[in-house]
């Protein structure tokens, strides 16, 4: 992860993000300490993390985000979502039926704390007269993941930007983007970002990329449909990203498909060439 963050800086990518997952049977380096370490390899562009808000105590999370925001020169972007993995939620002691209320209240509590307010809360957490320090010097930007129409409406109402579900193809993503735009209009909101994550592998030769893609799909890669993956040479990936750009997406968050570190670093390095073609 440290090598990949360093390579992303050298490629002059726009953001550095880490994810959020818990109670796993495999090693998963937790986002707050990991991002703190990776910021030493990053520059002054934005960085942030995904947080599944119902799984966190909002005072603790507000403190951790505020600390990260205080030690980085760029702005902090909070990606947030409900989290749909029942085993993960139950492993963290969370009632799945209360997730929506916990999500909204958590966000409200954290935003009040970041504004320097004193917060008490009783519905989900027994919080009494909580305050935090340090406070973020810049407002924390909120990108919210959603797919169902009520969740898209919630994103338009509460967040600065929208995260599309990563498993969607372009046509479905565009349909949901239109729903999001309509919801933003109803709430008189102008989004700061409209983003989607793509799992990606770029090779210097299209043949090598095609071989990798076929092998990944033969194993049923994460259950994703073929159109949800970006695999190819620089021009192929640039063309695929350009389609999302034309559809109205402002950002594509990339995650390496290959576990091979050499292939992953090559993908990051070649993203610099992809950017040049998209400019």
pLDDT in tens, 173-206: 999 999 999 999 999 999 999 999 999 999 988 7
Q: For residue 134, say if its preceding peptide bond is cis, omega within 30 degrees of 0.
A: yes
Which superfamily does CATH assign the domain made up of 2-145 to? Luciferase-like domain (3.20.20.30)
Regions of the chain short of the pLDDT cut 50:
none
Residues 218/274, Cβ–Cβ less than 8 Å: no
Q: Which has the closest alpha carbon to 18: 6, 41, 1?
A: 1
- Domain boundaries of the chain, sorted by first residue: 2-145
The pLDDT value given to residue 84: 80
* Residue 53 to residues 89, 104, 134, 229, Cα–Cα distance (Å): 11, 9, 21, 27
Give the distance from CA 216 to its chain's centroid. 23
The pLDDT value given to residue 279: 84
In DSSP notation, 244-261 reads HHHHT--EEEEEE----H
Using a 10 angstrom Cβ sphere, with 0-12 exposed, 13-18 middle and 19 or more buried, the burial of residue 43 is middle
């Amino acid at each position: 992860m440290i090598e990949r963050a360093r390579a992303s800086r050298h490629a002059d990518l726009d953001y550095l993000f880490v994810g959020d997952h818990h109670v796993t049977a495999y090693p998963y380096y937790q986002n707050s300490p990991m991002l703190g370490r990776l910021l030493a390899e990053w520059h002054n562009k934005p960085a942030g993390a995904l947080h599944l808000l119902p799984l966190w105590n909002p005072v603790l999370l507000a403190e951790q985000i505020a600390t990260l925001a205080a030690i980085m020169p760029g702005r902090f972007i909070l990606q947030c979502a409900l989290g749909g993995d029942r085993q993960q939620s139950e492993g963290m002691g969370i009632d799945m039926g209360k997730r929506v209320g916990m999500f909204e209240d958590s966000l409200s509590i954290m935003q009040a704390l970041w504004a320097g307010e004193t917060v008490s809360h009783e519905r989900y957490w027994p919080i009494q007269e909580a305050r935090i320090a340090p406070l973020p010097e810049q407002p924390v930007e909120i990108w919210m993941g959603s797919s169902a129409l009520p969740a898209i409406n919630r994103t338009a109402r509460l967040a600065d930007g929208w995260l599309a579900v990563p498993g969607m193809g372009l046509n479905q993503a565009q349909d949901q983007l239109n729903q999001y735009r309509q919801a933003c209009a109803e709430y008189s909101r102008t989004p700061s970002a409209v983003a989607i994550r793509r799992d990606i592998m770029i090779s210097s030769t299209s043949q090598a990329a095609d071989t990798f893609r076929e092998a990944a799909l033969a194993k049923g890669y994460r259950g994703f449909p073929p159109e949800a993956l970006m695999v190819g040479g620089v021009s192929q990936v640039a063309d695929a990203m350009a389609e999302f750009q034309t559809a109205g997406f402002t950002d594509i968050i990339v995650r390496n498909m290959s576990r091979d570190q050499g292939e992953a670093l090559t993908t990051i390095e070649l993203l610099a060439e992809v950017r040049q073609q998209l400019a």
